[in-house]
């Protein structure tokens, strides 16, 4: 019971801080994401055993790039690099092949592909035609929470077939399907009670969020399993590290950004 209370308080504080920053202004949203990214880089560096400041330098550069809006656009090449890199990680997850990071270049590349570029697109995601639309991020977070909650509930009560047992023994195919179904329902309800995007667009976004968010969580689990660690850190009592909480959100960000800004 005490652990449940600790987890609940920790999750509540996290949610209040995150949602307040999103709603207050674009500046507080970007600022909090920069702090979150810094912590996640620190935690990820410990997981893959990299002691170097260069990832933080890249983070500063990418945050400044997202703010300054240079005359020449780097968005297209950056999203191409991000999607190819993240797809490569998904291939290694599905094929059960190990993620190699023996050299400094490999470790730095993983920081850029896995964290820095996704955070860049998470910053850029709610800016539609140069207007900050905070509710969009709130709705995506709601879909993530819906997916995680119902994947757990359905998996716990009906789960029989393991999803990726070698990476995360508790996740089941039934839980994955349950999370996806309720995410789509959440997307439909969001479309009904908001004026941000149409119903079909929210259904597509919900599918992307559910599938890529779940796979992003499994990719982080693969990193931790290779490193033989349970959590990415201890900053959130009862939950582990900040990376453990944000792995779904930043992993799906480039894919949702592509859909919202280029396909819709």
Q: How many CB atoms lie within 10 A of CB 7?
A: 14
Q: How far is CA 126 from CA 78, 193, 220, 262, in A?
A: 17, 18, 25, 14
Report the pLDDT averaged over residues 83-88: 96
190-203 pLDDT per residue, tens: 999 988 899 999 99
145-174 pLDDT per residue, tens: 999 999 999 998 998 888 888 888 888 999
Q: How far is CA 219 from CA 3, 87, 96, 141, in A?
A: 26, 11, 11, 19
Task: Give the residue among 250, 254, 251, 234 at the shortest CA–CA distance from 242.
Answer: 234
Q: Are 230 and 240 in contact (CB under 8 A)?
A: yes
The pLDDT of residue 236 is 82
> Is the model's pLDDT at 72 over the cut of 60?
no
Average pLDDT, whole number, for the chain? 91
The pLDDT of residue 65 is 86
1-56 pLDDT per residue, tens: 556 677 778 888 888 999 999 999 999 999 999 999 999 999 999 999 999 999 99
The pLDDT of residue 2 is 58
């Amino acid at each position: 019971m005490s652990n449940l209370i600790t987890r609940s308080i920790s999750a509540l504080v996290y949610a209040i801080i995150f949602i307040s920053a999103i709603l207050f202004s674009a500046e507080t949203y970007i600022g909090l994401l920069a702090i979150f990214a810094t912590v996640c880089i620190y935690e990820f560096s410990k997981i893959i055993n990299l002691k170097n400041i260069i990832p933080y330098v890249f983070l500063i550069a990418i945050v400044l790039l997202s703010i300054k809006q240079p005359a020449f656009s780097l968005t297209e090449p950056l999203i191409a690099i991000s999607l190819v890199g993240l797809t490569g990680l998904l291939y290694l997850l599905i094929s059960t092949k190990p993620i190699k990071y023996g050299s400094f270049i490999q470790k730095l590349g993983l920081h850029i592909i896995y964290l820095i570029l996704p955070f860049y697109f998470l910053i850029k995601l709610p800016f539609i035609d140069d207007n900050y639309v905070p509710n969009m991020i709130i709705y995506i977070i709601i879909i993530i929470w819906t997916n995680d909650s119902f994947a757990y509930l359905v998996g716990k009560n009906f789960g029989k077939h393991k999803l990726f047992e070698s990476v995360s023994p508790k996740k089941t195919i039934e839980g994955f399907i349950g999370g996806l179904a309720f995410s789509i329902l959440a997307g439909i309800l969001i479309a009904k009670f908001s004026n941000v995007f149409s119903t079909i667009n929210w259904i597509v976004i919900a599918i992307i969020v559910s599938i890529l968010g779940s796979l992003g969580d499994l990719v982080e689990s693969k990193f931790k399993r290779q490193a033989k660690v349970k959590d990415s850190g201890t900053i959130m009592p009862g939950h582990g590290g900040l990376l453990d909480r944000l792995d779904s959100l930043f992993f799906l960000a480039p894919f949702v950004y592509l859909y919202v800004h280029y396909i819709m």
